[in-house]
């Protein structure tokens, strides 16, 4: 069966937010490493992604392959809230994003900057009393504000300070696309037959069984002392968390799941750093070229290597 390439595939749902460490540029490398029976059948019985983030891999698989059921998890409650809104109320979300876009683009650059910080302050104030457990209309407006901030902030970062507040400064974009209506419809379609949960990656074990396809894309281990773009949750993700994840990987391997994991390659900075080589010594570790564009150090924005770990 002829397989359509990433570039040629039309109506490909893509992440609805810009996200540091997103996997769009690596989709070709990841697809080449899918289990052969999936490539042959173009079908996935069950897909689990314990660190969904912006969901580039999920949206790609849902568009190109027949994914019968999928389970997405992330510890970031704001992100999971947005997925739930896109699944349940995407039309209303589109209406609110249109209003935000029209108002923002009608302003001068200085007024846009003021508008951005006004919405950011409102967003952070609301965080203190929002009910993240019970779905209601407040989630729709908050998701609209989240997407607005993501599309108008500096470099499209999602970053929280130690108090849990969104603290990314204003980005000077001439014509930001705040309401991507076409993609929102595609994202909504992709989320059918999908369960979305705000939970730690270990909770994914209840959905993983033999032959489940699992893609693990944790917050990356910093490749230098200046590249700490792992603060997508207030608590961060540290070496002990990476070790805990490696243990989880081993447990899921014993269940007979098909596991693929990606991370930064510490050898970019120190050729002697065998952190991941030691953690995943029993599995297939490959290094692939990637571009890291979001980094405070310009010297680390070019071509680097990332690792892909498979148990098959």
Asked if residue 185 lies in contact with residue 179, where contact means CB atoms within 8 angstroms, the answer is: no
17 occurs within a structural domain = no
7 occurs within a structural domain = no
Average pLDDT over residues 103-111: 96
Segment among 30-34, 98-102, 302-306 with least mean pLDDT: 302-306
How many Å apart are CA 151 and CA 234, to the nearest integer?
21
How many Å apart are CA 157 and CA 170, to the nearest integer?
11
pLDDT at 98 over 60: yes
Quickly state the pLDDT bin for 224 (edges 50, 70, 90): low
Q: Residue 45: which domain range?
A: 24-75+199-226+233-310
Q: What CATH number is attached to the domain comprising 70?
A: 3.40.50.150
The answer to whether residues 178 and 204 belong to one domain is no
The answer to whether residues 70 and 211 belong to one domain is yes
The answer to whether residues 134 and 116 belong to one domain is yes
5 occurs within a structural domain = no
pLDDT at 25 over 60: yes
pLDDT value at residue 294: 47
Average pLDDT over residues 211-224: 88
pLDDT value at residue 234: 54
Q: What CATH number is attached to the domain comprising 124?
A: 1.10.1020.10
The answer to whether residues 64 and 88 belong to one domain is no
Residue-averaged pLDDT of the chain:
90
Burial class (CB in 10 A: 0-12, 13-18, 19+), 60: buried
19 occurs within a structural domain = no
The answer to whether residues 133 and 32 belong to one domain is no
- CA pseudo-torsion sign 57, 58, 62, 63: negative
The answer to whether residues 138 and 203 belong to one domain is no
pLDDT at 152 over 90: yes
The answer to whether residues 143 and 281 belong to one domain is no
Quickly state the pLDDT bin for 285 (edges 50, 70, 90): very high
Best CA proximity match to 82, nearest among 140, 150, 135 = 140
The answer to whether residues 222 and 265 belong to one domain is yes
248 occurs within a structural domain = yes
Best CA proximity match to 196, nearest among 186, 185, 187 = 187
254 occurs within a structural domain = yes
Taking the model in full, what pTM does it have? 0.89
Q: Give the chain's domain count.
A: 2
122 occurs within a structural domain = yes
Segment among 49-63, 151-165, 187-201, 297-311 with least mean pLDDT: 297-311
Average pLDDT over residues 279-298: 80
The DSSP output letter for 128 is T
Percent of the chain with pLDDT over 90: 78
pLDDT at 7 over 80: no
pLDDT value at residue 24: 87
The answer to whether residues 296 and 161 belong to one domain is no
pLDDT at 228 over 90: no
The answer to whether residues 136 and 211 belong to one domain is no
The answer to whether residues 302 and 203 belong to one domain is yes
Burial class (CB in 10 A: 0-12, 13-18, 19+), 172: exposed
The answer to whether residues 37 and 94 belong to one domain is no
């Amino acid at each position: 069966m002829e397989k359509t390439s990433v570039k040629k595939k039309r109506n490909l749902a893509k992440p609805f937010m810009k996200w540091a460490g997103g996997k769009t540029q690596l989709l070709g490398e990841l697809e080449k490493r899918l289990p052969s029976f999936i490539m042959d059948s173009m079908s996935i019985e069950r897909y689990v992604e314990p660190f969904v983030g912006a969901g580039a891999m999920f949206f790609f698989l849902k568009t190109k392959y027949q994914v019968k059921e999928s389970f997405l998890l992330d510890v970031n409650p704001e992100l999971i809230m947005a997925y739930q809104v896109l699944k349940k109320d995407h039309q209303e979300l589109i209406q609110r994003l249109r209003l935000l876009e029209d108002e923002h683009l009608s302003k001068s650059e200085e007024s846009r900057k003021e508008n951005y910080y006004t919405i950011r302050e409102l967003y952070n104030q609301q965080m203190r009393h929002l009910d993240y457990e019970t779905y209601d209309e407040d989630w729709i407006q908050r998701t609209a504000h989240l997407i607005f901030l993501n599309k108008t902030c500096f470099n499209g970062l999602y970053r929280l300070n130690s108090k849990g507040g969104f603290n990314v400064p204003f980005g000077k974009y001439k014509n930001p696309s705040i309401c991507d209506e076409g993609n929102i419809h595609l994202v909504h379609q992709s989320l059918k037959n999908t369960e979305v949960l705000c939970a730690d990656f270990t909770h994914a074990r209840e959905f993983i069984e033999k032959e489940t396809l699992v893609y693990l894309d944790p917050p990356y281990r910093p490749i230098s002392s200046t590249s700490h773009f792992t603060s997508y949750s207030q608590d961060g993700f540290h070496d002990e968390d990476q070790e805990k994840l490696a243990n989880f990987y081993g447990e899921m391997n014993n269940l007979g799941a098909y596991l693929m994991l990606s991370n930064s390659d510490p050898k970019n900075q120190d050729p002697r750093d065998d952190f991941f080589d030691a953690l995943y010594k029993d599995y297939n570790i490959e290094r692939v070229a990637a571009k890291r564009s979001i980094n405070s150090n310009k010297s680390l924005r070019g071509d680097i290597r990332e690792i892909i770990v498979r148990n098959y």
